[in-house]
Structure 1
Amino acid sequence: MKKPELLLTPTAVQDIEKLAEAGADAFVIGEQRFGLRLAGDFSKEEVKQAIEVAHGLNKKVYVAVNALFHNDKIDDLYEYLPYLQSLNADGVIFGDPAVLMVAKEVAPHLKLHWNTEMTATNWFTCNYWGKKGAKRAVVARELNMDAIVEIKENAEVEIEVQVHGMTNMFQSKRSLIGNYFEYQGTIMEIENRKQEKNMFLYDKERDNKYPIFEDENGTHIMSPNDICIIDELEEMIDAGIDSFKIDGILKSSEYLVEVTRRYRKAIDLCVNDRDQYEVIKDDLLKELEELQPPNRPLDTGFFFKETVY
């Protein structure tokens, strides 16, 4: 039975070794101006350092270039993509066809992963982008388990699924919060790594807090809960899903290490000793629940029900 890749989104270069020791197989990093909703903002030099560290540990690095590109940023791709190719990045995550077209022209050896967050909802779409050059598709977070398994059964590309962390509900290209403060005569620094500057939308009726994440690509409103299916991995592993992603956005390095350890154990047992996985999976879920902040309960997202936020 094939063991799926365990994919992490580190907050900084120094996270990579710790996460690798905890069991991560691969990492998603990137620079804010090119990638959406990154757990950490990696400069070009830090991307180079991260790839060197990861490759030294026999781990893979995928660089997020999945922003929506306006005309004024296209020229930057002609320099950035060949740079990533020269670093031997293991893949580039894209959503905008401009990235694919520029990569074919100036960085043809880059492996491409198609990720538009919301529109990978059937295998025809995944295979369409596969025929255009993508090697992997990241399926939408709004799919249930049956749909994910059916996509994998018919896909001609690798399939990646998020199994843990928060998900995006809304994005605007505008800096809505920054613009609001500027209108009031106060300039708010756009900084999404300072925990004390977290901002939320509060839903009194449901008692939910929706984190607001603002970066160079605009404003993003995130889910009030974190996905966690550490106790429901069997069906996707049996289907041959290629990569399980733990999203580290707005999470601490320490939290990510502990979550990675639990998923590493769960995946290994689910593949190698299914009976033992069945015995301990509920305990692993309880351990993760204890790691959660009070305002971030765990749920199964859309895997088994129509979650309504």
Structure 2
Amino acid sequence: MKKTELLVTPTKLEDILPLMEAGADAFVIGEQRYGLRLAGEFNREEVEKAIEIAHEKGKKVYVAMNAIFHNEKIDELGDYLRFLNEVGADAVIFGDPAVLMMAREAAPNMPLHWNTETTATNWYTCNYWGKRGSKRAVLAREINMDAILEIKENAEVEIEVQVHGMTAMFQSKRSLLGNYFEYQGKTMDIENQKQQKNMILHDKERGNKYPIFEDENGTHIMSPNDICIIDELQDFLEAGIDSFKIDGILHSSEYIISVTKLYREAIDLYFEDPDLYEDKKGELLEQMEAIQPENRPLDTGFFFKETVY
């Protein structure tokens, strides 16, 4: 059985090497002009360097182009795809069909991963995009474990599942907070990550705090909890899920590295002997809880219908 890929989102170029040492098999990087909700901003020079570093160790780099594009950006897509093809990106992540159509002209041999974050909820849709050139489908975060296993059983493409990190609850193409502050005669730099970490929507009635993330693609309100299923991986591993994603958005490099080490251990234990994983998974969860920020409780997302918002 092929070992499940451990896919990680680094915050900066300097994260690549330590994340590989921690056990990452692949990375999602890019720039917000083309990709949604990235953990870090990578310009072209950094994308090229990241690919070079990863390939030296036999790892992969996928570049995000999963924004929804308006007419004014369409002419840029071919140039960016040609650049990614030249520097050896292992795949392009897309949600807008414009990227797929442009890739056929600009980079016809480039592998494509379909990721809309919301509509990959059944195997027919996954296979539809597979027949049009997609090698992988990134499943929606709002479906349960049984549905994911059913999709994997019937899918003709690779299946990627997020197993750790926060998820987006809401997105507007408008910079709602930026516009609000501008209206007040104030300024707000939406690229300032430190400031973003302090932008919170506080629901006092439920005691929840929702991080607010703004980038060039608009305003994103994130989940109050982090998904964590490090102790519930066995069904996915047995089913042959192709890739587990750790989303590091709004988390520190140190945290992402620690999380990567724990999931690396979990995957390796299972493939060595499923009983070893079964014996250790409770301890792995305890270690995860020990490093979790106080304001970010862990839950199992929608895998068992625990998350409600």
Unaligned runs of 5+ in 1: none
1:149-184 CA-partner distances (Å, limit 9, x unpaired): 000000000000000000000000000000000010
1:196 shift after superposition: 7.0
- Write out aligned runs for 1:74-223 (5 A): 74-194=74-194, 198-223=198-223
Letter in 1 for 2:183: Y
SS at match of 1:84: helix
After superposition, residues 223-242 of structure 1 pair within 5 angstroms as: 223-242=223-242
Moved >4 Å (runs of 4+)? none
8 A Cα contact 1:123 1:155, kept in partner: yes
* Superposed displacement of residue 191, structure 1: 2.1
Q: Secondary structure at the match of 2:159?
A: strand
Aligned residue number for residue 23 of structure 1: 23
Residues 192, 215 of structure 1: 8 Å contact kept: no
Secondary structure of the corresponding residue to residue 275 of structure 1: helix
Code of the aligned partner of 2:110 = L
Report the Cα distance in structure 1 between the residues aligned to 2:188 and 2:2, rounded to whole angstroms: 48
Counterpart position of 1:54: 54
Q: Is contact 2:196-2:213 (8 Å) kept? A: no
The 3-state SS of whatever aligns with 1:40 is coil
Offset of residue 279 of structure 1: 1.2
> CA–CA distance in 2 between the matches of 1:3 and 1:302?
24
Q: Deviations over 1:48-97 (max 9, x none)?
A: 01101111111000000000000000011011001000111000000000
How far, CA to CA, are the matches of 2:166 and 2:140 in structure 1?
A: 13
Contact 2:34 2:66 in 1 (8 A): yes
Q: Match of 1:259, SS? A: helix
CA contact (8 A) 1:227 1:301 kept: yes
Which residue of structure 1 aligns with residue 276 of structure 2? Answer: 276
Tell me the amino acid that sits aligned with residue 98 of structure 1: A
State the TM-score, normalized to the length of structure 2: 0.98
SS at match of 1:109: coil
Task: Supply the distance in 2 between the matched residues of 1:74 and 1:221 (Cα, whole angstroms).
Answer: 27
The code of the aligned residue for 1:17 comes to L
Structure 1 contact 202–209 (Cα < 8 Å) conserved: yes
Q: SS at 1:194's partner residue?
A: helix
Aligned residues: 309
- Compute the displacement of 1:247 (Å): 0.2
* TM-fit CA distance, 1:306: 5.0
Structure 1 residue 293 displacement after superposition? 1.1
Where does residue 250 of structure 2 map in the other structure?
A: 250
Q: For residues 72 and 145 of structure 1, what CA distance do their matches in structure 2 show?
A: 39
Alignment RMSD: 0.9
Task: Using the TM superposition, give the Cα deviation of residue 198 of structure 1 relative to its aligned residue in structure 2, in angstroms.
Answer: 2.1
Q: Identity over the aligned pairs, expressed in percent?
A: 74
Contact in 2 for aligned 1:2/1:271 (Cα 8 Å): no
For the residues of structure 1 that align with 2:82 and 2:198, how far apart are their CA atoms? 35
Code of the aligned partner of 1:218 = G
Mapped partners of 1:188, 1:31: distance in 2: 20
